[in-house]
Amino acid sequence: MAELTQVDKDTNIKVLVRVRPLLPREIALEDDESKKSLIQMPASDSKRTILRVPTSSSFHTQKTKTFHNRSPGSETEEEFKKYNFDESIWSFDRNDPNYTDNNQFYHKTGPDIIDHFFQGYNVCLLAYGQTSSGKTYTMMGNRQEPGLIPLIIKDILRQKEILVNERINCEVKFSYMEIYNEQVNDLLSLDESIKCRVREHPVSGPYVENVKEFLINDYEDFKRYLNKGNTKRSTAATSMNDTSSRSHAIITLSLKQTKFKNSGDSMDIGDADEEMISNIKLVDLAGSERLTKTKVFGQQDRMKEGTLINKSLTVLGRCINLLSSNSSKPHSKQSVVPYRDSILTYILKENLAGNSRSFMIFCVSPIDFEETYQTLNYANQVKNIKTAAIANKTKLATIPVQWDVLRRSDQDAIDSLKREVQELTEKLSKLESSAFSNSSDTNVAVSDNNRFDKLINFLDSETSKLRFENKYLKTQLHQRDLQISEMHRHINYIDREYESLNQEVHELQLNHQTMARNSLKGQCEQGLVDIANELELFDPKRMF
């Protein structure tokens, strides 16, 4: 039975803003004035972002018209927009001492994200911004400077290893999908004909069906799946960005933590006591763009992509706007939020307003006023949005885990499943090779496929259990080894102490003997002196 152990009502979405450096094409601009950053983030205040309104912007022109009517001459005055966010990340100039690279950025937010994830909360980290504002650089990074996603995953996998010592087994699963032209594609699926539709669960909310999840045990597993997905992700060169993301990418990690009670017997893991399931969504959105700026006119595919990217981001903007204004209204007066108007907002429904701890990174260009101003205003609205995160713990029925019995029965089950897998594989290949397969054959193939998937899932989870047992026993063994070497060190120490005591005793004995001999000698000498004195008294010569 599910126990809701911790509900964090009204947790605001955390808002982080990052300004990127100038791009080579921007550095090449001739006008020095247009290369100055419109954004300032004072080192003394990590929350502050200040945007300078350039005199050439339509915003300024609009304002000065009104000013002009009131006070002539004020059109030359510079104006500044001031914002406060949870973090303002300054990455404009690498030579600046306050420059923040991906690793430093990760250290500001990563630990919070990972804590929430392991405490059983659903978490979402999402990067938003115009095209070429640095979303992919921030989220994925590159070989020299890995982004938040690889850094987060590296630490999750490290924590997973550490928890083995606390008798907690962690199963981490990875899935990677994109929303391209308002359709979800599973980037890790081999079968492109499988449709991934968004469905809604009455309790846990929207989810995407048929997306494959893969168990990841170490960083190498993650890199393999990430690279596989990246090669399938839709990117294209536009005039704004050589490798512009043309789709919204969503990486989901699900974590199942199973805690085992301490049975007192190191060869027995004990009973599974508590289970916690959480997931983290890491989202790299495609950039909002003006079709004129990206110069994709005439390219039908690019234009369709661009229009649909803009549509989904507009819906996201509308949802943010309504959620923000709803946050200050009583429930009865709140407007309906149109999550279902785009696949992106439908999938992110829970992360925008439900059971999730959410973090949004707003990436901005330092010199594009109109886009940056719009992005900062979005970010300002998001600050008001609240989510209600729940850490979900489920008490398991206490079934004693006896590993030798389990291993034997596992082996039986695995052997019989292997046989079944082999039979099904043969059946499948027969069906595939049959050119004239009729519809009933196809039905058989589909149901066999489902069974095959279930078997693979079962085998995956059994393998994970066995791996954990193996790892746990190895840890125990390692701890025993440490204890044994500690005892050896202790024995050596006692040996050395014993030897030095022996030495001391021997020396004391020698001293004692010398002292006894010396005192005896002294006594003898004294006796001789006494006798000599007495003899002298009786000397006959002295008597007469």
Ligand X SMILES: Nc1ncnc2c1ncn2[C@@H]1O[C@H](COP(=O)(O)OP(=O)(O)OP(=O)(O)O)[C@@H](O)[C@H]1O
Q: In the complex with ligand X, which residue's Cβ is closer, 176 or 468? A: 176
DSSP assignment letter at 438: -
Per-residue binder mask for ligand X (CB under 6 A), 11-50, x = binder: ---------xx-x---------------------------
Q: In the complex with ligand X, which residue's Cβ is closer, 382 or 391? A: 382
Least Cα distance to 350 among 427, 274, 302, 280 occurs for 280
Q: In the complex with ligand X, which residue's Cβ is closer, 286 or 389? A: 286
Binding status of residue 286 toward ligand X by CB under 6 A: yes
Of 43-51, 132-140, 257-265, 459-467, the window that binds ligand X (rule: CB under 6 A) is 132-140
Q: In the complex with ligand X, which residue's Cβ is closer, 147 or 270? A: 147
Interface with ligand X (CB under 6 A), residue from 110, 270, 287, 366: 287
Binders of ligand X among 244-263, rule CB under 6 A? 244-245
Q: In the complex with ligand X, which residue's Cβ is closer, 241 or 345? A: 241
Q: In the complex with ligand X, which residue's Cβ is closer, 133 or 312? A: 133
Q: In the complex with ligand X, which residue's Cβ is closer, 132 or 279? A: 132
Can you read off the two tokens belonging to residue 413? 């089950």
Q: Is 256 helix (H, G, I), strand (E, B) or coil?
A: strand
Are 132 and 23 in contact, with CB atoms under 8 Å apart? yes
* Diameter over CA atoms, the chain: 158
Measured CA to CA, the distance from residue 350 to residue 344 in angstroms comes to: 12
Question: How many binding residues for ligand X (CB under 6 A)?
Answer: 19
Interface with ligand X (CB under 6 A), residue from 123, 322, 363, 401: 363
Binding status of residue 241 toward ligand X by CB under 6 A: yes
Q: Angle at which helices 300-326 and 369-382 pack, to 10 degrees? A: 40
DSSP assignment letter at 64: H
Binding status of residue 375 toward ligand X by CB under 6 A: no
Binding status of residue 354 toward ligand X by CB under 6 A: no
Smallest distance from ligand X to CB 322, Å: 25
Smallest distance from ligand X to CB 95, Å: 13
Sign of CA dihedral 142, 143, 146, 149: positive
Helix (H) / strand (E) element for 426: namely helix 403-433
Can you read off the two tokens belonging to residue 510? 């020698």
Paired sense of beta strands 248-260 and 14-19, if any: unpaired
Helix (H) / strand (E) element for 282: namely strand 272-284
Binding status of residue 358 toward ligand X by CB under 6 A: no
236: phi > 0 → left, psi -120 to 50 → alpha, else beta; which? Answer: beta
Binding status of residue 279 toward ligand X by CB under 6 A: no
- Residue 398: beta bridge partners? none
Of 2-10, 131-139, 453-461, 527-535, the window that binds ligand X (rule: CB under 6 A) is 131-139
Binding status of residue 134 toward ligand X by CB under 6 A: yes
Q: What is the CA radius of gyration of the chain?
A: 37
Measured CA to CA, the distance from residue 174 to residue 190 in angstroms comes to: 15
Are 293 and 281 in contact, with CB atoms under 8 Å apart? no
Interface with ligand X (CB under 6 A), residue from 136, 326, 365, 372: 136
Binders of ligand X among 325-344, rule CB under 6 A? none
Smallest distance from ligand X to CB 134, Å: 3
Q: In the complex with ligand X, which residue's Cβ is closer, 120 or 366? A: 366
Q: Which residue is nearest to ligand X (CB)?
A: 287
Q: In the complex with ligand X, which residue's Cβ is closer, 131 or 278? A: 131
Q: In the complex with ligand X, which residue's Cβ is closer, 105 or 260? A: 105
Measured CA to CA, the distance from residue 280 to residue 203 in angstroms comes to: 18
In 285-413 the beta strands, taken as DSSP E runs, fall at 357-364, 386-395
Query: Residue numbers of the site for ligand X (CB under 6 A)?
Result: 20-21, 23, 91, 129, 131-137, 241, 243-245, 286-287, 363
